[in-house]
Each structure stands twice: as C-alpha cells, then as structure tokens.
C-alpha cells in the first residue's frame, strides 16, 4: 500500500503510525510512503490565513491519490477543510485512528509566568485570539515551519513563549519542552487537533474496508462533531474558531466551541451534548448555526477585527 504524506518529521511519524496500524490489522502488508510537497510547506514566509487557510497542506497530497500515485493519504485532521463546498470529489475520509492529545502547549514559560508585554510566537489566529483574551498585555509574532524550527524560535527569535500542539511534541519525543499544556477549558483546541485522517478513493471498496479496521469510533465522532461546527461557519483554519468534543465509551459526548475576533476583544463560547445515536456532524453544525444566529456570531464575523489582523 502506498500512503501519500507530507515530508516533515511530524507528517512522516503520522504516516509511519498509520502504516503500523495497518500492518497489525493485516500481517504481511507492505506499506511505503509517497512524499509530497504542499503549498503550505513551500510558502513558509506567510501565515496560513494569508495563504487562504483551508487545504494548503492537503491538496497536493490528495492529488497523489486521485492520480493513482498513492492508494491513500494521511493528514492531520485539523488540516482537512470542513466546508462541504471545499471537499475533494472522488475522495472519502475512510478512517480516524485513535486520537492523540488535542491540547495546545506553551514552550518557554507557563502563561501565568509570562512577564507583562511578553512576545508570544504563533501562526494560529485561534491561539492568538484566546491568549489575547486571557492576557491583553501580550504581543504576538507569526511563526511557521517544523516543530524544530518553532522550538528554535525560543533562542533565535527573541520570544518569551511559543505555542504548539501538545501531540506534535509528544510524537517527536519533545514533550519535555512544554512549560505548560493548556486546559481545553481555558484555550479551546483547533478542530481535529491531535487526530489523524486517512483518505482514499471513494470507489475503492476493499481499501475502505481495510481502513475501517483502524478506525477509532469515539475519535471519529469527536472529530466529526468539531468539523460539523467549523462547516457551519463556512471557513477553515484562518478563522479564530476552535472546538473540542469529548466522547465517552457509550458514545455520549460534550462539544465546546469558540468563535472570536482576531484581537481577542470578543470571544464567544457555547456547548452542547449529544447521545450515542445522534449524528455528531449534524449536532456540531447545529451548534454553529445557533451561535451564528442567536449567540452573536453573525455580528462578530461582520466585525472588522474578525477578518483583519490589528497592526
């Protein structure tokens, strides 16, 4: 089996992990990576929101599958566009393996120990908005690149802290670098953070059956609920939006979602619960619609601070 992947150390770890799950499900299976360069990998001079957000890390990887250069694609679930209008025809999300840590981590100092006016590095509008809400005194600078590049900013970039995904640190054996792992109740994670998404061609029934064997149902339901919320907003990772679903062993879940202005002046939070027989994607979408129509979300998105970065 050929698995299309980005070439970063983290992406290769993720693909190796999926390969190991597949070999465990089908002993003797030979799995090889097909490394693909994406727009997001090539344009490190711009923040993701400036590149258009949704799809900048997945389109070329998906193309490898559609063009039969690979059989399946391994993504970070957070990189997949949630808007149905941006879905790639001919592909299906065939498996979400067991999710890793969805939380954000601060490298450098804990949030409470950052001095007044400290400079924090992050390329994420969601992280920036929530940290600005918690600490209006903080200043921010953009940051892109591999985990190694981001950690190097602590010594080379003159910043007091860097924000990264806890799962990325853990997967690369750098969790010791985290000064604080942020509680999802304090900083709501990115949609799909810590989860992997495996796509294949829609008509490839045998492969879909194999990939279904590495699916982790609670993780899939959580990711579907979070993606449903983001789909209701019609946007991607350029939006200061987050969601975090926790699914218990019986399939019951609690979904917390957030929408904010980029400067953190206004942050909206909302929650819902759903049962084991409910459609998590539909429930997530409904939560987003309610936030837009009745919770102030529509007015927030119309606010200038929601679509342009402050100077």
Active-site amino acid positions:
79
The helix/strand/coil state of 272 is strand
Closest CA to 2 of 65, 63, 57, 92: 65
Closest CA to 146 of 272, 247, 40: 40
Closest CA to 254 of 283, 230, 214: 283
Contact (Cβ atoms closer than 8 angstroms) between residue 238 and residue 54: yes
How many alpha carbons fall within 13 Å on the CB side of residue 255? 36
Closest CA to 55 of 15, 87, 33: 87
- How many secondary structure helices (H) and strands (E) does the chain include? 10, 13
Quote the CA–CA distance of 82 and 87 in Å, as a whole number.
8
């Amino acid at each position: 089996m050929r698995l299309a992947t980005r070439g970063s150390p983290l992406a290769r770890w993720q693909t190796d992990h999926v390969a190991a799950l597949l070999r465990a499900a089908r002993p003797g299976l030979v799995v090889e990576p097909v490394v693909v360069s994406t727009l997001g990998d090539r344009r490190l001079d711009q923040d993701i929101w400036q590149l258009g957000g949704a799809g900048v890390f997945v389109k070329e990887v998906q193309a490898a599958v559609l063009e039969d250069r690979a059989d399946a694609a391994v993504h970070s679930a957070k990189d997949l566009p949630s808007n149905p209008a941006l879905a790639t025809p001919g592909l299906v999300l065939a498996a979400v393996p067991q999710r890793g840590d969805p939380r954000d981590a601060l490298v450098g100092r804990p949030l409470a120990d950052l001095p007044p006016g400290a400079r924090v590095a992050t390329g994420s509008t969601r992280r920036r908005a929530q940290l600005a809400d918690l600490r209006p005194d903080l200043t921010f600078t953009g940051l892109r690149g591999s985990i190694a590049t981001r950690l190097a900013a602590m010594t080379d970039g003159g910043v007091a802290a860097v924000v990264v995904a806890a799962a990325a640190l853990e997967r690369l054996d750098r969790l010791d670098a985290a000064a604080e792992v942020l509680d999802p109740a304090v900083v709501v994670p990115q949609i799909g953070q810590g989860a992997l998404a495996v796509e294949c061609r829609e008509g490839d029934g045998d492969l879909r059956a194999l990939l279904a064997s590495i699916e982790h149902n609670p993780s899939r339901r959580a990711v579907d609920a979070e993606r449903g919320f983001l789909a209701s907003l019609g946007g991607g990772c350029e939006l200061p939006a987050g969601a975090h679903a926790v699914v218990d062993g019986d399939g019951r879940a609690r979904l917390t979602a957030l929408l904010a202005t980029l400067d953190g002046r206004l942050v909206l939070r909302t929650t819902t619960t759903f049962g084991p027989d409910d459609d998590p994607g539909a429930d997530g979408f409904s939560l987003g619609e309610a936030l837009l129509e009745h919770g102030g979300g529509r007015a927030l998105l119309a606010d200038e601070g929601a679509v342009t970065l402050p100077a």
